[in-house]
Amino acid sequence: MAFDTSTGYVAPSTSNLQDLDAALPMFNIERVSLQFAISSDFVAAEVANNVLILALSTGRILRIDLDSPADIDDIDLPKKPGEIGIIRRLFLDPSASHLIITTTLAENYYLHTQSRTPKALSRLKGVAIESISWNPSQPTASTREILVGASDGNIYEVYIEPSAEFYRREERYLKAVYKTSDGPVTGLWTDLIAGKSDLRRVVVGTPSRLLHFVGKIGRHGHEGSGSIFSKLFESESPTIHEVSNVSSGAPSALAISPEPHDTPSSDPAGSERVFAWLTSQGVLHGKLLTSTDTSDLGNRVFSETRMLPRSQIPPSQTAGGRSRKTQDPVTSMILSQWHILQLVEGRIVAINRLDDTVILDQVVLEPGQSALGLVADVKKNTYWLFTTQEIFEIVVTDENRDIWKIMLKSQHFEAASQFAKTSAQKDAVATASGDYLVGKGQYMEAAAVYGRSTKPFEQVALTFIDKGEQDALRKYLLTKLSMMKKSSVMQRVMLATWLIELYMAKLNTLDDTITTKAELSESLNTAESQDQLSMCRREFQEFATKYKADLDRKTVYEIISSHGREEELLFFATVVNDYNYVLAYWVQRERWQESLGVLKKQTDPEIFYKYSSVLMADVPVDLVEIMMRQANLDARKLIPAFLNYNRITKVPLNHNQAVRYLLFEINQHQSTDAAVHNTLISIYASHPTNDESALLSYLESQSYANEQNYDADFALRLCIQHKRVQSCVHIYSSMQQYVQAVDLALKYDEVELASTVADRSDTDPALRKKLWLAVAKKVISQSSGIKTAIDFLKRCDLLRIEDLIPFFPDFVVIDDFKEEICAALEEYSRQIDTLRQEMDESEETAAHIKTDIKALEQRYAIVEPGERCYVCSLPLLARQFFVFPCQHAFHSDCLGKKVVEIAGIAKGRRIQELQMEVSKGVSVGSKRENAIRELDALVGSACVLCSEMAVKLIDEPFVSKADNKDEWAL
C-alpha cells in the first residue's frame, strides 16, 4: 500500500485480491511508501478495523482510514511531551471506536472515533498501562466494562464513556479487581462462554505465568453503575500455567488469532479462537475451548496447548554465512489464522502452528534499525510491522492452502476434506482416508469415503468382496452412484442393477436368519435381525424410489423374482408406475382384494378397460364402486365386460352391477352415448324375469325428458324378440306408430294397453277413431256379452252404434242393443233440431244486416255556417273537416294532432308519417290515394270527445298545465 499526499489514494493490498495464484508466496512483506512528511519518529502504532493510528515523538497522533485515506486526522495531545512524557503505547479496540493513549510519565488519555480532542483519564493517572482487554460486545458509544493491566501487576476494571461536559470525567468508575505477583500484566483477553451473557473467560499473561479465569460476573441495577468483574476474580480460582527461570528482561506477550472468515463452518479446528503466549522459553499456543461445563475448562485449555520452543526458530546468519551459536531474542509476536509470526531481531519468522513448519524467514530491518513491533488487525486479517521510520505490511496469500496436507498427515481426514479445494486434493484425502479406515477394519466408513475418491473401482469392489463385507460394498456402490454424472447412463444402470442384487441377497439372508432363529454372529440375535430386515427393506424402498430412472424394469423383475421377493417386486413395479404388472400379478393369483387395492390408486382408463372383464366376473360390486369414483372412464369401452358379466351372472335386476353402472352413467354423467343406452336395454330385455317394469320405467324416463338416446329400431327388435309387449307398445307410441302399437297390443290380447294407446292419440280424431274401431272389434270378438262390450266402448266418445254394428255377429238379436240404437236416434233428432234453429237465426241476422247497409247509404250530417271546430274553436268551413254522427266536428289537422296525443306510440308515429307523405307530396298517384285513405281511416275512426278514446282520458285533469288557471277560478 502507498500513501499519496496529492490524492490521498491507498493502493489496494494484495491480501484483498480474490483470484490469487497458488504459486505466489504465502507471505510477502511489502514496504509502505510514505508520501507525506513527518517531523519526528514513530513511537507507537496500532491498526484495527482498517484504521491506522500512528503516534509521533512530538505528541501528534495521525488517524488514517485505510478504506478512504483522502483525509488524515492530525490530533495533538492537550499537553506538550515535556509535561506528560512521550507516547509509549496505543490501545485501539477491534472496532476502531476507542483509543487509549499512555505516555512514559504514566499519563493516560482517551480518544473516541468521533472526536478530535483526547480527554485525560484522571482516575488512571499514574497507571502505566501494559495491556487492555476490550469488552467482547465491542460497543461504539462507550467502552462498557474493560480490564486494564498495569506494569505494577494490578488489573483494573474501568468504564469509559465520552462526555461533552467539561468537568465530567470520562471514567464512570475505576476499581482494582486483581493483582498478580510476578511483574507487569503483559496480556489480557476477555470473551463470552457458550453464548451466556453472565459467563466470562479472562486470560491474564505475565512474564512467567498464564492465568485462566472463568466464571459468572456480577450484575447491577443499571449498566456502568459498578464493577462486574470483582465477583469473578473474588470467587474463582485461576488455572495457571507457569514457566520457570524467567529473567527480568524476558519477552512476554499475549496474542489472539484474528476473527475467522474463510474457515469451514464444520471444521472443529477452526471454530474456536487460538491464543499464543510469548515467553522466554518459546511460544505456548492452543485453542480457547468453549463449553457449557466450565468447571474444568482451564485445565482442558492448557492440557491441549503446544509449546513452540525458541530453538525451532532458525538462527540468523553471520556475515560469513554461518549460523549464530546464540539464540536471537524475540521482540514481538502476533497470530494469523494458521501461523505464528515473530519478530526476531530484524527478521520476521512465520511458523505454522499445526506442524511447526517454518514458512517465512526474511530479514526486514537494516542493521541498527529499531522496530516498534508487530500488529495484527483482527477484524480485517491484515498484519503490520512498524519501525520508527517505516511501515511494512505482511501480505498473506491463501494462507490455508496447505492446511489440508497437514490435517491429512495427522490423520484428521474430515478436517482435511474441508480444507481441500481442488478435486485432486479432495480425492487424495478421500483415498488416504479410505485406506486408513480399511486398515482399521472400519469398512462401512471406508465405503463412504472411497465412494468420493477416484481410486479404481475394481480395486475397491474386490477389497470389500474379498473381506466379505457386502454391506460395505453396498454402501460404496450407493455413494459411487450418487457421485456419478447423469450422462454416464450405462455405468449408472450397471451400478443400480448390482445394488438390486445386493439388496435382495441381504434381505434373503435376514429372512433365513429370522426363520431358523439362528444368530448371524455372537452379538446379533433374532430380534436384531428383525430390526435389520425392516431397516434394509426401507433402504431398498428409498433406493428404488430415488434411482428408478437408472433401473431396467425387465432386468429388475427377473432379479427380484429369482430371489422370490414378492413384496419388493410389487413395490418396485408400483414405484415405476407399472400398475399393469402389479394388477396382472394379483389377478393371475386371484387375489381380488389386492387387485382392487391397486386399482383404487389408478387414474389411467386403459387399466380399467383391460381388467374390467375379469374383475366384473369376480368382484363386480367393489369394481363398480371404484369405477363410479373415476371421472375419465369411457363407458362404451366397458360394455364388453358388462355383457360378459350379464351372460354369466344370474342375479335380479336390482342387484345387477352392470345395470347399476349404466344407470349411473346415464343419470349422473348425463351420458347420451347410444351404445350405453342400447346395452342397458339389451340387459333389461334379455333378463329371464317376466317383469318388464324396469325396462318400461327407463323408456318412460326417456320420453318424459323429451329424449331418445337409444336406437329405437334396435330396442324394438329386442323387445319383440323377448316378448316385452308393454315396452314394444311404448316404443311404437314414441315413434308415433299408433296403429302398429295397437295391433301389437291386441295381438297379445292386451286390450287395456291398446285402449291406452288409442286414448293417447287425441290430436287426430280420425286416427283415434280408427284405433278405437280396432279395439272395438277385438273387444266385441272376445266379449261374452254384447252389453259388456258396448259398456267398455262407451269410453270413447267418437264411436257410434252404427260404427259397431258391422262387428257384431250375424246371429246377434237387435234386442240386445235396442236401447243404444234408440238413444242414438234420439240424439240425432236433437242435433237436427238444434241445426234447424241455428239456420233460422242466421237467416234473420242476415236480413238485419242488409237493412243496416241500406240505411248507411242514406245517412248525412248538417253543418251550420257558423259552426266551429271543437279543438281550435275556429270556423269549421275554413278548411277540410270531419263530422261524426255524434255531431262533433273537427278540422282534419286539429283532429290529427288530437289523435296523435291520445293514441299509442305506434299509431301516433304512423299518423305523423302519413301526414308527412301527403303534405310533402312524397307519394303520387294511387300510392298517394292509399296514403290519404289510410290517414283518414286512422284519424277519423272515432270521435275524440265521446268514443272509447275519450274514455281513456278519464284520469286526465280538466285544467292542464297549459291552461290559464285564473279563468277557472271560482
Q: Tens of pLDDT along 260-313?
A: 876 554 444 446 899 999 998 899 999 998 877 788 888 999 999 999 998 888
Chain centre to alpha carbon of residue 218: 50
Alpha-carbon Rg for the chain in angstroms: 60
What pLDDT is recorded for position 586? Answer: 78
Between the alpha carbon of residue 558 and those of residues 274, 504, 563, 577, 819, the distances in Å are: 60, 12, 9, 17, 97
Question: Which DSSP symbol is given to 3?
Answer: B
pLDDT tens for residues 393-452?
Answer: 999 988 888 888 888 888 787 888 888 888 888 888 888 878 887 888 888 888 888 888
Q: Rounded to whole angstroms, how far apart are CA atoms 895 and 936? A: 10
Is the pLDDT confidence value at 107 over 90? yes
Q: Rounded to whole angstroms, how far apart are CA atoms 900 and 894? A: 10
Max Cα–Cα distance, the chain, nearest Å: 172
- The better pLDDT of the pair 360, 2 is held by 360
Closest alpha carbon to 871 in 791, 790, 939: 939
What pLDDT is recorded for position 732? Answer: 79
Set of cell numbers at residue 954:
278519464
Instruction: Give the lowest-confidence range in 32-41, 234-243, 274-283, 289-298.
Output: 32-41
- Amino acid symbol at 822: C
Contact 170, 160 (CB under 8 A): yes
Set of cell numbers at residue 22:
497458488
Set of cell numbers at residue 72:
488524515
Contact 87, 108 (CB under 8 A): no
Question: Which DSSP symbol is given to 344?
Answer: E
Matching CATH number, 860-902+940-970, of 3.30.40, 1.10.3470, 1.10.1060, 2.60.220: 3.30.40
Question: Which DSSP symbol is given to 875?
Answer: B
- Residues whose CB is less than 8 angstroms from the CB of residue 622 and which lie 6 or more positions away in sequence, other chains included: 592, 596
Beta bridge partners of 881: 891
What is the torsion angle, in degrees rounded to the nearest 10, for the CA atoms of residue 414, residue 415, residue 418 and residue 423? -70
Contact 500, 551 (CB under 8 A): yes
Handedness of CA 754, 756, 762, 763 (dihedral sign): negative
- Amino acid symbol at 947: S
Q: Rounded to whole angstroms, how far apart are CA atoms 69 and 4? A: 9
Task: Label residue 21 left, alpha or beta by phi (over 0 means left) and psi (-120 to 50 means alpha).
Answer: beta
Angle between helices 905-920 and 926-939 (to 10 degrees): 140
Contact 733, 760 (CB under 8 A): yes
- Averaged pLDDT, 234-261: 88
Q: Rounded to whole angstroms, how far apart are CA atoms 84 and 903? A: 122
Between the alpha carbon of residue 896 and those of residues 882, 912, 950, 954, the distances in Å are: 10, 9, 15, 20
Is the pLDDT confidence value at 959 over 50? yes
Beta-carbon-side half-sphere exposure of residue 706 (alpha carbons within 13 Å): 0
Q: What are phi and psi of 460, to 5 degrees?
A: -65, -50
SS3 143: coil
- Averaged pLDDT, 529-538: 83
- Amino acid symbol at 858: Q
Closest alpha carbon to 214 in 227, 204, 224, 223: 204
Q: Rounded to whole angstroms, how far apart are CA atoms 369 and 374? A: 15
pLDDT tens for residues 151-161?
Answer: 999 999 999 98
- Averaged pLDDT, 930-949: 81
Set of cell numbers at residue 44:
507507537
- Averaged pLDDT, 536-564: 89
What pLDDT is recorded for position 399? Answer: 87
Is the pLDDT confidence value at 5 over 90? no
What pLDDT is recorded for position 118? Answer: 92
Is the pLDDT confidence value at 877 over 60? yes
pLDDT band at residue 722 under the 50/70/90 scheme: confident
- Amino acid symbol at 548: K
pLDDT tens for residues 188-205?
Answer: 999 988 767 788 999 999
Is the pLDDT confidence value at 71 over 90? no
SS3 254: strand
Contact 397, 20 (CB under 8 A): yes
Beta bridge partners of 209: 242
The secondary structure of 162-174, three-state, reads CCCCCCCCCEEEE
DSSP letter string over 781-813?
HH-S-HHHHHHHHTT-SS--HHHHGGGS-TT--
Contact 273, 257 (CB under 8 A): yes
Residue 958: exposure state from Cβ atoms within 10 A (0-12, 13-18, ≥19):
exposed
What pLDDT is recorded for position 284? Answer: 94
Closest alpha carbon to 503 in 460, 471, 527, 466: 471
Between the alpha carbon of residue 290 and those of residues 191, 335, 962, the distances in Å are: 10, 19, 108
Is the pLDDT confidence value at 726 over 90? no
Is the pLDDT confidence value at 324 over 70? no
- The better pLDDT of the pair 180, 906 is held by 180
What pLDDT is recorded for position 11? Answer: 34
- Averaged pLDDT, 474-481: 88
Beta bridge partners of 76: 60
Highest mean pLDDT among 86-100, 234-248, 388-402, 787-801: 86-100
Mean pLDDT of the chain: 81
Cell numbers 473381506 correspond to 467
Set of cell numbers at residue 559:
432379479
% of the chain residues with pLDDT over 70: 84
Contact 750, 728 (CB under 8 A): no
Instruction: Give the lowest-confidence range in 8-17, 313-322, 927-936.
Output: 8-17
Highest mean pLDDT among 8-17, 410-419, 885-894: 885-894
Q: Rounded to whole angstroms, how far apart are CA atoms 562 and 513? A: 19
Class of domain 573-824: mainly alpha
- Averaged pLDDT, 783-797: 59
Is the pLDDT confidence value at 934 over 60? yes
Contact 738, 732 (CB under 8 A): yes
pLDDT tens for residues 679-710?
Answer: 888 888 888 888 888 888 888 888 777 778 88
Residue 73: exposure state from Cβ atoms within 10 A (0-12, 13-18, ≥19):
middle
What pLDDT is recorded for position 8? Answer: 34
Element (H, E) at 503: helix 489-516
What pLDDT is recorded for position 873? Answer: 86
Instruction: Give the lowest-confidence range in 49-53, 530-534, 942-946, 959-963.
Output: 959-963
What pLDDT is recorded for position 772? Answer: 67
